[in-house]
Amino acid sequence: MSMKMDKAQTSPPVEYVFVAGRVPKLSLLELKAVFDFENLRVLNLTSSLIVVKANALVGSEQFKRLGSLRKAGQIIATFDRADELDLGILEKALGDLRVLGISSLTKGFSALRLGKAVKKAGLVRRFVVASHGDLLTDAQSKGLKKGLEVLIFEDEGKFKLATIEHSQDIDAFRHRDRDLPVADPIRGMLPTKLARAMVNLAQPRPNLKILDPFCGVGRVLIEAIDLGYEVVGSDIDPVAVEATKKNLSWFKADSYQIVETEIANLDRLDLSQVGAIVTESFIGQPQQARVSKHDQGLIFAQVAPLYLDLFKQAEQISTLQSLVVVFPEINNSSLLDILIDKLPKNRYDLVDSVSVSRPRQFIGRCIGIFAKID
């Protein structure tokens, strides 16, 4: 469901900066998937910023679709040196607003110094700078609803000033993450933002459904429904099936099919309009210490049959266009790398993969993105 931006909104290209999440590559892949990339061109990818040119403005509803990007703003000024920023540009951007939030992601520019200068010039009553690090926190951004947030960063040897127009709705994500009626620390560990990003990476054609055959407590399905898709889910565990049904009911979902079945028997579901599989299967029991090479082999051997069955079943779904699948990653080694030559290749190719493992996470995640062979 790639978003078409209304070219009538603006004529010249608009330069935007997106603040990526913890895994910049995931954010870049999601950004490409969600937006009509004919209207976006990546200029630069740093550790946390993606700069693009768009032929139209990015709307709030478009930004809300994203799971792995934190902020987005329009670049309104470029200057050569840190002391060349014209306060008149900020005055125009502020309008009647009298609170300014400032993030600076360059060592050559002081957010605090700028804040003091703006306040001394009488342009604002108060200003806010990052309390830890260089980027305003989500909570600080939320507190600027009646103010303006700006970001200063370096790109290709120049300083750029952007007005932040969109920030991730942390309350909405927290609600879907923490307020589920049924949660399970083992069965439902897939983070909500990651589940949303995975759905976006799948991008099936409109009117096709998303299938999660290892639905757990339903996090992928909830994000898919929130993004406007109909869903189909299954799990071999009856407790998981009931948990998913309760959570979908809590989310007020009214069109879904959830069935108790093992992965080898997906024909028990109505798969006639499934356009994408988005899923995380069982990736091994949680570990409290570094996994030895021997135990790593045992874990991979335990879960590998689930993946082989998954891709075997995927070959039978005629409408399927893509698969976005979490593979376990241990000691910087992914099961995807081990299985890639064993997976059926009649209909789907691996188009990309991205590790989203966290530091000191003993069993991490590697996301494989597969697309139908034309």
Task: Kindly state whether residue 183 falls inside one of the protein's structural domains.
Answer: yes
319 burial type by CB count under 10 A (0-12 exposed, 13-18 middle, 19+ buried): middle
Backbone conformation region of residue 300, classed left if phi is above 0, alpha if psi is from -120 to 50, else beta:
alpha
Do 331 and 201 lie in one domain? The reply is: yes
Measured distance CA(231)–CA(277) in Å, rounded = 10
Measured distance CA(23)–CA(301) in Å, rounded = 28
Alpha-carbon distances of 45 from 20, 23, 157, 374, rounded to whole Å: 9, 12, 14, 30
What pLDDT score was predicted for residue 133? Answer: 67
Q: Which residues of 169-185 are buried (b: 16+ CB within 10 A; e: fewer)?
A: ebeebeebbeebebbee
Task: Kindly state whether residue 125 falls inside one of the protein's structural domains.
Answer: yes
Read off the CATH number of the domain in which 47 is found.
3.30.2130
Supply φ then ψ for residue 39, to 5 degrees.
-100, 10
Task: Kindly state whether residue 2 falls inside one of the protein's structural domains.
Answer: no
Do 212 and 337 lie in one domain? The reply is: yes
Domain boundary among 168, 193, 220: 168
Task: Kindly state whether residue 1 falls inside one of the protein's structural domains.
Answer: no
Angle between helices 219-226 and 192-202 (to 10 degrees): 60
Do 326 and 288 lie in one domain? The reply is: yes
Do 181 and 157 lie in one domain? The reply is: no
Task: Kindly state whether residue 108 falls inside one of the protein's structural domains.
Answer: yes
For the chain, how many structural domains are there in total?
2
Cβ atoms within 10 Å, residue 149: 22
Do 178 and 311 lie in one domain? The reply is: yes
Do 145 and 222 lie in one domain? The reply is: no
Task: Kindly state whether residue 46 falls inside one of the protein's structural domains.
Answer: yes
Q: What is the domain range of residue 347? A: 173-372
Measured distance CA(356)–CA(368) in Å, rounded = 11
Domain boundary among 144, 168, 192: 168
Do 80 and 153 lie in one domain? The reply is: yes
What pLDDT score was predicted for residue 48? Answer: 87
Do 164 and 205 lie in one domain? The reply is: no
Task: Kindly state whether residue 316 falls inside one of the protein's structural domains.
Answer: yes
Read off the CATH number of the domain in which 214 is found.
3.40.50.150
Do 278 and 359 lie in one domain? The reply is: yes
What pLDDT score was predicted for residue 109? Answer: 85
What pLDDT score was predicted for residue 152? Answer: 94
What pLDDT score was predicted for residue 8? Answer: 43
Do 163 and 37 lie in one domain? The reply is: yes
Domain boundary among 168, 203, 225: 168
The maximal CA–CA distance of the chain, rounded, in angstroms, is 70
Measured distance CA(303)–CA(334) in Å, rounded = 12
pLDDT tens track, the chain, 374 positions: 555 554 444 457 888 999 999 999 999 999 999 986 555 666 666 668 998 888 888 899 999 999 999 999 999 999 998 888 999 999 999 999 999 999 998 887 889 999 999 999 999 999 999 877 688 988 899 888 889 999 999 888 889 999 999 999 999 999 999 999 998 876 658 999 999 999 999 999 889 999 999 999 999 999 999 999 999 999 999 999 999 999 999 999 988 999 999 999 999 999 999 999 999 999 988 888 999 999 999 999 999 999 999 999 999 999 999 999 999 999 999 999 999 999 987 789 999 999 999 888 899 999 999 999 87
Do 163 and 180 lie in one domain? The reply is: no
What pLDDT score was predicted for residue 7? Answer: 45
Do 224 and 359 lie in one domain? The reply is: yes
Task: Kindly state whether residue 211 falls inside one of the protein's structural domains.
Answer: yes
